[in-house]
Amino acid sequence: MAVEGEHQLQTNGHAKQAEESANSVQSKELRKKKRKKFLIFVALSTLFQIAVTLFSSLYIMKVRTPKFRIRSATFDVLSKNAENSSFNITMNAEFGVKNANFGPYKYRDSTIYFFYNGVNIGEAFVSHGKAGFKSTKIFNVLVNLSSKDIPKDSKLRNDTNSETLTLTSKSKLEGKVALIFVLKKKKSTEMDCTITVGLADKVIRDIDCD
């Protein structure tokens, strides 16, 4: 009986050791899985932060040049004299400053110049303003265009006879783009547009801007 009891104790001891060993292996496996999950989480978090940083630096924080363009125009007065090759135009022009940045673009006062065949025929003042976050600032300008300073040459005579004038409009806006309303970057934009005017029907036939 004593031998039998001793054998049972040894059996129980071996069983307990086996159970403890199994629990230890299982515990190590759980810790290993947790470490693996933690490392995966850290790697994914790091990749996400890198992606956000790249997106911010390449897209959100990138400063784009605003676009300054003449959009349309109408005429309050349009008179021409083919005999003495002259014209006098009062034009109401609509301009737009398109801002594609993730922050407002504030520009200073400027001047718009109008030319015929390289000769200045009129100017218009642009008051300082702001094109908002990814939006277009639209404003109107009234300008008088006159041929009084243009030499009376064959080109002007031919254009007035053909009822078509080709004008150019140039200007430059200087200002700053405020990114996230804190970081400010200087940015200037230039306008260079060609305007085809129909004298007979008193309309803008075409506007082409670079």
pLDDT per residue as tens digits for the range 171-184: 999 999 998 766 88
Q: What is the structure's pLDDT at 197? A: 93
DSSP string, 22-39: HHHHHHHHHHHHHHHHHH
d(CA 79, CA 90): 9
In total, the chain counts a number of residues equal to 210
Tokens (6 digits) for 85:
């090759």
Q: What are phi and psi of 44, to 5 degrees?
A: -65, -40
- pTM of the entire predicted model: 0.71
Residue 55: pLDDT band (50, 70, 90) is very low
Q: What is the structure's pLDDT at 138? A: 97
d(CA 11, CA 199): 114
pLDDT per residue as tens digits for the range 83-130: 777 899 999 999 999 999 988 999 999 999 999 999 999 999 999 999
Locate the DSSP E strands across the chain: 67-81, 86-99, 105-107, 110-116, 119-126, 129-131, 135-146, 164-179, 183-198, 203-209
Residue 53: pLDDT band (50, 70, 90) is very low
Burial (CB count <10 Å: 0-12, 13-18, 19+), residue 23: exposed
pLDDT per residue as tens digits for the range 3-14: 455 555 455 555
Question: By percentage, how much of the chain surpasses pLDDT 90?
Answer: 48
Whether residue 206 is predicted with pLDDT greater than 70 in this model: the reply is: yes
Helix (H) or strand (E) holding 50: helix 2-55
* Cα 165 to the center of its chain, rounded Å: 33
Residue 201: pLDDT band (50, 70, 90) is confident
Q: What is the structure's pLDDT at 58? A: 47
